[in-house]
Chains A and B, each alone.
Chain A
Amino acid sequence: DTAVSQTPKYLVTQMGNDKSIKCEQNLGHDTMYWYKQDSKKFLKIMFSYNNKELIINETVPNRFSPKSPDKAHLNLHINSLELGDSAVYFCASSLMGQYGYTFGSGTRLTVV
């Protein structure tokens, strides 16, 4: 019954590797997002995506790329991982952005 689910919950990997985080929502929402939470708990949007438009935060390195096979899924691919990519990544979804945003439980990425 989980509304927004993301996998894996924990991801430990070496520098230079490529990894993906998967996200699925079963709420029928029209827009999905990826957020990064740093070690100071600050939450920053990375991407928003609906079936028409991808908006990329200009500060996000192009090593990060969202991929959406359909309206219910928005996966995050990260190439050439760096130590500074270590963070918690949250997937979220909303309906027209106004009625509440539902977040997944997060993926804690550790790059060693």
Chain B
Amino acid sequence: AQSVTQLGSHVSVSEGALVLLRCNYSSSVPPYLFWYVQYPNQGLQLLLKYTSAATLVKGINGFEAEFKKSETSFHLTKPSAHMSDAAEYFCAVTDSGGGADGLTFGKGTHLIIQP
């Protein structure tokens, strides 16, 4: 079984500061990992994904994440926060078994950007 833990249900940073959203996973097989963003009253938008290629993954809107197998982590970072980054962020995991199990999501982190 797979699981995802997102540390911090709310994270607040100042505009221009570093954004760090934490995600740890548990998987009995090599995982595929994803970060999604959800803006208020909208659907889920894929930020980036790790699918066993490069461990440092670059995504949209200046976000990136690094897969660290030894730490079972896939933390999301952005060097400089923008007001438009305020949203809910979800880390998700799946195995490579063909998609039947779908994604298992973390509980989400609400990112607040202070002016």
User: Which stretch, B19-27, B63-71, B74-82, B98-106, touches the partner chain A?
Assistant: B98-106
Separation in Å of the A52 CB from the closest CB of chain B? 9
Residue count of chain A within 8 Å CB distance of chain B? 29
Q: Return the CB mask of A85-105 against B: 1 if under 8 Å, else 0.
A: 000001010111111111111
The residue that A43 contacts in the complex, of B51, B101, B105, with Cβ under 8 A, is B105
Nearest first, the 9 closest Cβ-Cβ pairs linking A and B are A97-B99, A105-B43, A103-B44, A43-B105, A31-B99, A45-B102, A48-B102, A103-B43, A41-B108
Give residues in A with beta carbon < 8 Å to B. Answer: 30-31, 33, 35, 40-45, 48, 50, 53, 55, 90, 92, 94-106
Q: Which residues of B contact A53 (CB under 8 A)?
A: 100
By beta carbon, the residue of chain A nearest B52 is: A98
Interchain Cβ contacts within 8 Å, total number = 79
Cβ-defined contact, A45 with B98, below 8 A: no
Having A31-B98, A97-B101, one finds 12 other A-B pairs with CB under 8 Å, namely A35-B102, A43-B90, A43-B103, A48-B101, A97-B32, A97-B97, A98-B99, A103-B36, A103-B43, A103-B44, A104-B43, A106-B42
Which chain B residues (82-105) contact chain A, with CB distance < 8 Å?
88, 90, 92, 94, 96-105
Q: Which residues of A contact B99 (CB under 8 A)?
A: 30-31, 48, 50, 94-98
Q: Which of B49, B100, B108, B110 has the largest count of A CB atoms less than 10 A from its CB?
A: B100
Cβ-defined contact, A97 with B100, below 8 A: yes
Q: Which residues of A contact B46 (CB under 8 A)?
A: 100-102
Separation in Å of the A51 CB from the closest CB of chain B? 12
The residue that B96 contacts in the complex, of A35, A94, A98, A103, with Cβ under 8 A, is A98
A82 to B99, CA, bound (A): 30
Q: Which residues of B contact A90 (CB under 8 A)?
A: 43-44
A68 to B105, CA, bound (A): 24
A92 to B105, CA, bound (A): 14
Q: Which residues of A contact B44 (CB under 8 A)?
A: 43, 90, 92, 103
